[in-house]
A and B are shown apart, each in its own frame.
Chain A
Amino acid sequence: MTTALASRPGTSPVIRLIKSYPMEVILVVLVVILIFTAPGFASLRNVLNVLRTGSLLGIIAFGMTAVIISGEIDLSVGAGAALAGCIVAWFCGALVDIVGGPLAALIGIVIAVAVGFAIGFSVGKLRQWFNVPSFIATLALFTALRGAANLITGGFPLTTFPKGFDFLGGGYLLGIPFPVYIFALTFAGMHFLMNFTRFGRAVYAVGGNMEAARLSGIDIWWVKCMALGILGALTAVSGTLIASQIGSGTGTTATGMELDVIAAVIIGGTSLFGGKGRIWGTLIGVLFLGCISNGMTLLNVSEYWQYVVRGGIILGAVLLNQVLERVR
């Protein structure tokens, strides 16, 4: 844990702060710069906007953090989110006349989440039984799930949601966008899970050294499968919110989202080698990515430049972590 870093005599508190909390410091600096340079960045409307967009990414990123710490990865979350939205939309259309709109939507959401969990869990089982790396299995799902989503919709947006469904993705509760609540809940839940449960501690052990964990009597495959399953379920939740926000189930939505999700996790200091990372760090990563994109848009930076900058940030974050590792 970073908090336990030994303080060496002779180093100033500022340096220590930067060494211990590099991304936190950088985020604060970035926010301060944007407040003074980007017109309208600090307005309430804009802040809520950043939070809403960040929420949809973050819900998945917290699940991804657990998966990456466990030593696996999931490249299919963008497609998974699209599929979830289409499943919900399909059930809304199919059941609305039988059980009514709200119940149809609820059934759809439950099924979408269950499907998401099952897909993630099976990725783990493929790894266990046939030694298929999760990178490969989810690369296959990356295209297969998107295909499946389009099969459900027939290639056109399914606008079958009942009245009021748009609240989930676009509504406000007490002046704050609804997805932000889900985001906060997911953060709290995943933070608790990773730090205060047997399962969470086992995730770190399995990712840090699979064989040592196995010899310690930890059911390593259960741990990996569950981490992947939880990510699948959270992906479905986020996919539902996205569909609600755009008002339809669409097979082509959330393209490229997996890269942003993984980027947020990495910027947050989680190691792709497994065993190391924090949910808190991912929260910082999500906010950082959100602020950067929003700030660049406000500053009229061209979309192409934004891609280049985002790429540079991912690389920079990894380099920073490697360098700090050595300094420490």
Chain B
Amino acid sequence: MLDAMPPHLRTGGLLEFDDVTKVYGQTVALSAFSHRFEPGRVHALMGKNGSGKSTLVKILAGVILPTSGALRVNGAEAAFHTPQDAFGAGVITVHQELSLVPSLSIGENIFLGRLPMARKFGLAVVDWTRLHKEATALLHEMGLDLDPHRLVSALSVGQQQVVEIAKAMSFNPSVLLLDEPTSALATREVNLLFTLVRRLRDRGVTILYITHRMNELFEIADTCTVLRDGIFAGSVEMTEASHSLIVEMMFGETARARRPARKAIDRSAAPVLAVDGLTRHGDFEDVSLAVHRGEILGIAGLLGAGRTEVMRAIFGADPVDAGSVTVNGRTVPTATPKQMKEAGLGYTPENRKEVGLVQILSTHDNLCMASLGRIAPSGVITRGREKASVTRQIADLAIKVSEPLLPVSSLSGGNQQKVVIGNWLNTQPKVMFFDEPSRGVDVQAKRQIFDIIWDQAERGLAAIFVSTELEEVLEVADRILVMRQGRIVAEVDPTATTLDELYRLCMEGSSE
């Protein structure tokens, strides 16, 4: 067990990677990474999804061990078999998802698992006085004006993030890893966080800072290290860096993606789906868009830009404060997913494992889930009646499944995604929303999924396509809307836009 926080923070440590490689089966996630992270500086770590960034985070957090290579903290060789090993070496990771217990106080959260004890009447009891005193001292030292008695559930997300960092600091780390700490924060709260990060840096703590937001780099980071496809792509001092230099390091020489010749879209006809002034305060404001028959509309934006929120709201999965949705010229009031399905909408959600599929049910059942009403208008249903819908989708979408009656959880990610799509295609939708359809699937399955989307559009389906991977949006969509902080800020033609331009459009304050 770790002792409660000593009153003074120790100085930072030099973190060195020497030829660190991580291999998963056939995939090289991180390849011969060598770099020195100097103490007392904020080191940004950039790279698009799949660049090896999260592998690096996991190695430092003690979640996985590198396949080969060495890691050194202050010159001493370190191998983190467990998160405790990492703590012991003074390397603390603050993960993107908050790990606080909302129903407990700030103080108790900070010392969770190592509460200071005192003996009273011969019994070991929690020493609340000392706990809160130490918590106050810690918060104070970090320049935070928070009462440790307050419940975490009463704090804003930004304050919670700050408490999370305070908790990490109570372990007295020499290296602090912040994994996208600002992804859920409002601007004002970002400033609070930055003040804290600078304060810690000035104490000599080595800070690794992972973010998707490029503007933050120039504000907070001293250096920027970029990974691309598992390989070290370069490292620059922020004083010598520019937006385009970093984008170039991240994406490299991107070959223009192939895409099939697309039919011209008839935009003179009324749109199949028209959204007008859709608003939910705090999440998205005044979103208006229209999609025509056979058109693939891409929505680009960084994580947290509100893409998924808008799609879920259009689909009726979440409430809205204002705005209307019109499908085929008919405005759908008080939408629920059920009504939207009947109106001709389909939605393949971004997190297919959690909400796209019922994992314990069979592939067969999952393929029929949304279309039970269509298959069984009278209410009576048999496997025989469902069979046609199941075999059609398995054949059309080339779903690799040995036995459709086995649980869908036995399929690979790509095939599961196809089941989600097939489930919706069985409802014969007019409009389909594809939310991150390529997440967590292999390259080949990704190509197949894009082919399915193009093919369906060719047959008249209107589609909205969302992906964190901007290359994919450029490749798949006929037209792209750019979202930033809950608003649509631009519309671009993918054939006349470069990745670099699109990436800049997605960034905050890129107009400067």
Contact = CB atoms under 8 A, between A and B. Distances in A.
B365 A201 contact: yes
A22 interface: no
Nearest to A192: B380
A201 B358 contact: no
A198 B381 CA distance: 6
Interface of A: 1, 3-4, 6, 196-202, 204-205, 208-209, 211-219, 275-276
A328 B91 CA distance: 41
B401 to A, nearest CB: 12
B373 A208 contact: no
Given A215-B347, A217-B370, A196 B357 contact: no
B452 interface: no
A208 B342 contact: no
A204 B338 contact: no
Given A200-B381, A215-B317, A217-B338, 8 more contacts: A4-B405, A196-B382, A201-B365, A211-B355, A214-B337, A215-B337, A216-B341, A218-B370
A256 B295 CA distance: 62
A209 B340 contact: no
A276 B358 CA distance: 11
Contacts of A212: 354-358, 369
B363 to A, nearest CB: 11
- 9 tightest A-B CB contacts, nearest first: A217-B341, A208-B358, A4-B405, A216-B370, A211-B355, A209-B358, A198-B372, A217-B338, A216-B369
B405 A211 contact: no
B361 interface: yes
B52 interface: no
A184 to B, nearest CB: 20
Given A215-B356, A216-B423, A217-B337, A196 B381 contact: yes
15 contacts: A4-B362, A196-B380, A197-B376, A197-B381, A198-B379, A204-B358, A205-B369, A208-B361, A209-B355, A211-B354, A212-B355, A215-B315, A216-B341, A216-B423, A217-B370
B356 to A, nearest CB: 6
The interface size bin for chain B is: 35 or more
Given A196-B381, A218-B338, A201 B368 contact: yes
B369 A213 contact: yes
Contacts of B315: 215
B357 A201 contact: no
Given A201-B372, A217-B370, A4 B338 contact: no
B349 A215 contact: yes
Interface of B: 315, 317, 336-338, 340-342, 347, 349, 354-362, 365, 368-370, 372-373, 376, 379-382, 403, 405-406, 423, 427
Nearest to B427: A217
B349 A208 contact: no
A276 B360 contact: yes
B380 A197 contact: yes
Nearest to A211: B355
Contacts of B349: 215
Given A208-B358, A218-B338, A1 B403 contact: no
A204 B361 contact: yes
Given A205-B365, A209-B359, A275-B358, A4 B370 contact: no
Nearest to A202: B372
A198 B376 contact: yes
Given A214-B337, A215-B347, A208 B359 contact: yes
A12 B254 CA distance: 56
B405 A216 contact: no
Main secondary structure of the interface of A (DSSP, over half): helix
A198 B377 CA distance: 9
A27 B340 CA distance: 48
Contact of A197 (B347, B379, B406): B379
B218 to A, nearest CB: 39
A6 B370 CA distance: 27
Nearest to B342: A217
A19 to B, nearest CB: 15
A6 B380 contact: no
A102 B376 CA distance: 40
Contacts of A217: 337-338, 340-342, 370, 427
B406 A6 contact: yes
B344 to A, nearest CB: 11
Instruction: From A199, A208, A219, name the one whose CB has the most chain B CB atoms within 10 angstroms.
Output: A208
A4 B362 CA distance: 10
A198 B373 CA distance: 7
A212 B317 CA distance: 11
Q: Which of A1, A199, A213, A216 gathers the greatest number of chain B CB atoms within 10 Å?
A: A216
Contacts of B338: 217-219
Given A198-B373, A215-B355, A275 B361 contact: yes
B365 to A, nearest CB: 7
A209 B341 contact: no
A196 B380 CA distance: 6
Given A197-B376, A209-B355, A209-B358, A204 B347 contact: no
Contacts of A199: 379
B356 A4 contact: no
Nearest to B369: A216
Nearest to B317: A215
B137 to A, nearest CB: 40
A6 B376 contact: no
B228 to A, nearest CB: 35
Contacts of B370: 216-218
A113 to B, nearest CB: 21
B391 to A, nearest CB: 16
Nearest to B315: A215
B211 to A, nearest CB: 29
A202 B361 CA distance: 11
Contacts of A201: 365, 368-369, 372, 381
A6 B403 contact: yes
Residue from the set B315, B347, B362, B381 with the largest chain A CB neighbour count within 10 Å: B381
A218 B373 CA distance: 9
Nearest to B348: A215
Contacts of B368: 201
B367 to A, nearest CB: 11
Contacts of A275: 358, 360-361
Contacts of B355: 209, 211-212, 215
A215 B368 CA distance: 13
Contacts of B347: 215
Contacts of B358: 204-205, 208-209, 212-213, 275
Contacts of A211: 354-355
